[in-house]
Amino acid sequence: MIPVHGFEDKRVGVLGLGRSGLSAARALKEGGAVPVCWDDNPDARAKAEAEGFEIAELARGQVMDGLSWLVVSPGIPHLYPTPNPVIRAAWGAGVPVDNDIGLFFRALSHAGWEEFDTIPRVVAVTGSNGKSTTSALIHHILTHANRASQLAGNIGRGVLDIDPPEDGGVVVLELSSYQTDLARSLTPDIAVFTNLSPDHLDRHGGPGGYFAAKRRLFAEGGPDRAIIGVDEDEGQFMVNQLVDVPSDDRVIRVSSGQKLTGPGWMVFARKGFLSEWRKGRQVGSIDLRDIRGLPGAHNHQNACAAYAACRCLGLAPRVIEAAFASFEGLPHRSQLIAEANGVTFVNDSKATNVDSAAKALLAFKNIRWVCGGLQKEGGLDGLSEGLANVAKAYVIGREAAGFALQLQGVEAEICTHMDVAVAKAIEEAQPGDVVLLAPAAASFDQYDNFEKRGEAFAAAVRAKLG
């Protein structure tokens, strides 16, 4: 645990008592604060009360007026579509609102590293797609190189649950837009922006607010190094805002699919080969084509971003290349489930939006595509390029018929249920085919989360294959 200091003997509100909320309450208590907790869920309140935390309705005037700070869990809206009543009450009482990410960076400023030979560093990764894989890959490379590393944030452990960083240690954080949007302190040493595609638009008041939430990590965080994916206009804009001169190597441009040029520092992948260029000359190259844990152009972009981060941390290209070879990928993200009778089964349940699903479709050929679910805004037009690789779609979800009608030029069968879709795909698959779950939709119409959906896919495959 990382104790949060600076609130000794002060009452600090904690709104939301899930993983991050309880972790924040414990860290505040460890640092000498008096957490005052609330959650609309009575079971969550009971759990916190069982740990000895004070429970009180924070929106009540006499409670809010006694608070010095309010810490909010990331799932609670603080502005759009409508601010939570407790947050409105905090505004009215002049109580600063923060989250556990802000507390984490605040706590590090009190870490007392004067006697360390090498100050610990924080790498923070954000973006619409690929941030989990990129974060996990950075952590994997560091571990492979025997560098002390911890993975936390939106993946792995809660940020305040990790151990205080040791001499020379690295903390790798995956940060969602919900987390970067509200944190009052954002001071990573290295910040990574993978890409941007429409997502969570209701929570951020539209695409501009969504991008602004991501951009805070760079504009307000002031990292020593910024690694920016430039395959979208937003990335290009951010690079332009951050550089002072064209050769400014505090900013590293990253791309998958285009050769980058110029006098600065860049890492890009084309035709399966990663290249690093600095000051107009190539200084590193890695063949990514046979790395099974990183299939497809979207994962090659993740590899470029992770490579750049590890180069900033002083690792040699060959050390990074060796670590790539042993990376197995993450569950539910282009995860190899099985191979049987010449057919490959891949679980990419995390492909919950059109952009991520399109990238999954472009990573494979001869696809038997399991798709569908709770469709997000914007329709399915963004899938068009990847549909050329689809032999047939097997559509699940309560809105399967409506989803199937949008798949122009692709044979689609309405299956509704996962086990039916998997059984049909296996029955019709030929050697060389890939049965791919890449839903292009949220899971909440049938499953609690994308992990449960991915587990259902894997279970159906294993049950059918025996």
261 carries a ligand binding annotation: no
- Which own/partner pairs from 255-263 qualify as long-range (CB within 8 Å, at least 24 positions apart)? 255/229, 255/230, 255/231, 255/301, 255/304, 256/231, 256/297, 256/298, 256/300, 256/301, 256/304, 257/231, 257/297, 258/231, 260/230
Residue with tokens 């890959």: 137
299 carries a ligand binding annotation: no
130 carries a ligand binding annotation: yes
Burial pattern 407-418, b for ≥16 Cβ within 10 A else e, equals beebebebbbeb
Nearest to 124 by CA among 208, 34, 225: 225
Nearest to 78 by CA among 177, 12, 2, 151: 177
- Which own/partner pairs from 58-62 qualify as long-range (CB within 8 Å, at least 24 positions apart)? 58/13, 58/15, 58/86, 58/89, 58/90, 59/85, 59/86, 59/88, 59/89, 60/89, 61/89, 61/93
194 carries a ligand binding annotation: no
Residue with tokens 């006694």: 66
Token pair of 410 as six digits: 């692709």
131 carries a ligand binding annotation: yes
Rounded alpha-carbon distances, angstroms, from residue 34 to 48, 196, 354: 13, 39, 44
Residue 387 corresponds to which amino acid?
L
Query: Binding-site residues for ATP, please?
Result: 127-133
Query: Binding-site residues, please?
Result: 127-133
